[in-house]
A and B are shown apart, each in its own frame.
Chain A
Amino acid sequence: MTNPQWSAVDPSAQAGVRATNQAVPISDEVRNMEIAQTVRQLFYRARDARRPLIAQWKKNYRVLNNRMWTSRAEPWMPAPEISDIWPLIASLVAWMTDQRPGCEVSASAPPFSEFADYYQNIADQMNSILDAQYSENEEDAEIEKILWDVKDSVGAMACRWTGRCEDESC
Chain B
Amino acid sequence: MSRVDPATLYPDPNARSMAQCNYIVEAKIMSMNDLDRAFPGAAGKVQPGMSESIDESPHRLDQTVLPGQPRVNMGPLAPNTQFTTWQQSPRANVFTSEDPVVVVLEAWIRTHRIIDHNEDPTLQPGNARVVDRWKCVVVVNNTVLMDKYADEIYAFPTHPYSKMVLFDTGEWYGPCMVEFLTSPQESINRMLQSIEHNLLLLGNPILLEQPKANIGGRPSMSNRPGQRVLGNKQTTGFMDPPVIHPDFMRLIEYYEGKMEVIAGMYAIMRGAQQSGSRQSTDVVSTIQDSAFIRVRATLRNLERLLRDAANKKCAIISEFYTEPRLVHVLGAKEGNPIAMALRANHFYNLPGTMDHSSADAPVPMRFKVRADAGSDHPTSRQSRQAQMERLFALGAVDIPALLQAESIPGWKDIAGRVMEQQAVAGTLGQPPGARQRTRAQ
Residues on B with beta carbons closer than 8 Å to the beta carbon of A135:
330
B381 interface contact, C-beta 8 A: yes
Decide if B189 touches A81 in the complex (CB within 8 Å).
yes
* Closest beta carbon of chain A to B287's beta carbon, Å: 14
Q: Can you spell out 30 A-B residue pairs with CB atoms less than 8 angstroms apart? A: A9-B137, A13-B111, A42-B23, A45-B13, A53-B173, A70-B76, A76-B225, A77-B193, A84-B256, A101-B371, A102-B306, A103-B306, A103-B307, A104-B371, A106-B367, A108-B356, A119-B349, A128-B331, A135-B330, A150-B164, A151-B176, A152-B6, A156-B4, A156-B161, A157-B162, A158-B162, A160-B2, A168-B326, A170-B327, A170-B328
Give the A-binding residues of B (Cβ under 8 A). 1-7, 9-13, 22-23, 25-27, 37, 52, 54-55, 57-59, 62, 64-65, 67-68, 70-77, 80, 82-84, 105, 107, 109-112, 135, 137, 139, 141-144, 147, 154, 160-166, 172-179, 181-182, 184-186, 188-189, 192-193, 196-197, 200, 222, 224-225, 256, 259-260, 263-265, 269-270, 292, 295, 298-299, 302-303, 305-307, 309-310, 312-314, 316-318, 320, 323, 325-333, 340, 342, 346-347, 349-350, 353-356, 365-374, 377, 379-381, 384
Decide if B353 touches A157 in the complex (CB within 8 Å).
no
Decide if B367 touches A72 in the complex (CB within 8 Å).
no
Q: A29 — nearest CB in chain B belongs to which residue?
A: B142
Q: A164 — nearest CB in chain B belongs to which residue?
A: B2
With A96-B299, A102-B372, A132-B328 known, 6 other A-B pairs at CB within 8 A are: A37-B142, A58-B58, A69-B71, A84-B256, A95-B269, A130-B314
Decide if B367 touches A108 in the complex (CB within 8 Å).
yes
Q: How far is the CA of A11 from the CA of B185 in the complex (A)?
A: 54
Nearest first, the 6 A-B pairs at minimum CB distance are A49-B13, A99-B374, A46-B10, A73-B82, A61-B58, A101-B373
A67 interface contact, C-beta 8 A: yes
Q: How far is the CA of A101 from the CA of B333 in the complex (A)?
A: 14
Decide if A89 touches B2 in the complex (CB within 8 Å).
no
Q: Kindly identify which residue among B72, B181, B188, B196 contacts A62, using a CB–CB cutoff of 8 Å.
A: B72
Decide if A132 touches B327 in the complex (CB within 8 Å).
yes
Q: How far is the CA of A89 from the CA of B295 in the complex (A)?
A: 11
Decide if B12 touches A46 in the complex (CB within 8 Å).
yes
Decide if A70 touches B84 in the complex (CB within 8 Å).
yes
Q: How far is the CA of A153 from the CA of B365 in the complex (A)?
A: 35
* Closest beta carbon of chain A to B338's beta carbon, Å: 8
A27 interface contact, C-beta 8 A: no
| Contact A142-B1, Cβ < 8 Å, known A62-B65, A103-B369, A136-B330 | yes
Residues on B with beta carbons closer than 8 Å to the beta carbon of A169:
325-328
Q: Find the residue from B6, B105, B147 having the highest chain A CB count within 10 A.
A: B6
Give the B-binding residues of A (Cβ under 8 A). 3, 5-6, 9-10, 13, 32-33, 35-37, 39-40, 42-43, 45-47, 49-51, 53-54, 56-65, 67-74, 76-85, 87-89, 91-92, 95-96, 98-110, 113-115, 118-119, 122-123, 125-126, 128-133, 135-137, 139, 142-143, 145-147, 149-161, 163, 165, 168-170
Decide if A155 touches B76 in the complex (CB within 8 Å).
no
Q: B200 — nearest CB in chain A belongs to which residue?
A: A78
Q: How far is the CA of A108 from the CA of B365 in the complex (A)?
A: 8
Q: Find the residue from A40, A65, A84, A114 having the highest chain B CB count within 10 A.
A: A84
Q: B154 — nearest CB in chain A belongs to which residue?
A: A161
| Contact A157-B144, Cβ < 8 Å, known A46-B10, A73-B80, A143-B302 | no
| Contact A70-B189, Cβ < 8 Å, known A39-B139, A103-B306, A160-B160 | no
Residues on B with beta carbons closer than 8 Å to the beta carbon of A103:
306-307, 310, 369-372
**Interface of A (DSSP majority class):** helix
Decide if B182 touches A59 in the complex (CB within 8 Å).
yes
Decide if B353 touches A114 in the complex (CB within 8 Å).
yes
Q: A68 — nearest CB in chain B belongs to which residue?
A: B72
Q: A135 — nearest CB in chain B belongs to which residue?
A: B330
Q: How far is the CA of A102 from the CA of B61 in the complex (A)?
A: 34
Q: Kindly identify which residue among B6, B105, B107 contacts A156, using a CB–CB cutoff of 8 Å.
A: B6
Q: How far is the CA of A100 from the CA of B22 in the complex (A)?
A: 33
Q: B130 — nearest CB in chain A belongs to which residue?
A: A1
Residues on B with beta carbons closer than 8 Å to the beta carbon of A108:
354, 356, 365-368
Decide if B160 touches A158 in the complex (CB within 8 Å).
yes
* Closest beta carbon of chain A to B74's beta carbon, Å: 5
Decide if B11 touches A153 in the complex (CB within 8 Å).
no
Decide if B317 touches A129 in the complex (CB within 8 Å).
yes
Decide if A10 touches B314 in the complex (CB within 8 Å).
no
| Contact A115-B354, Cβ < 8 Å, known A84-B185, A99-B374 | yes
Decide if A6 touches B135 in the complex (CB within 8 Å).
yes
Decide if A157 touches B3 in the complex (CB within 8 Å).
yes
| Contact A67-B305, Cβ < 8 Å, known A115-B353, A150-B166 | no
Q: How far is the CA of A45 from the CA of B342 in the complex (A)?
A: 46
Residues on B with beta carbons closer than 8 Å to the beta carbon of A80:
189, 192-193, 196
Q: Kindly identify which residue among B10, B260, B365 contacts A122, using a CB–CB cutoff of 8 Å.
A: B365
Residues on B with beta carbons closer than 8 Å to the beta carbon of A73:
76, 80, 82, 84
Decide if B83 touches A95 in the complex (CB within 8 Å).
no
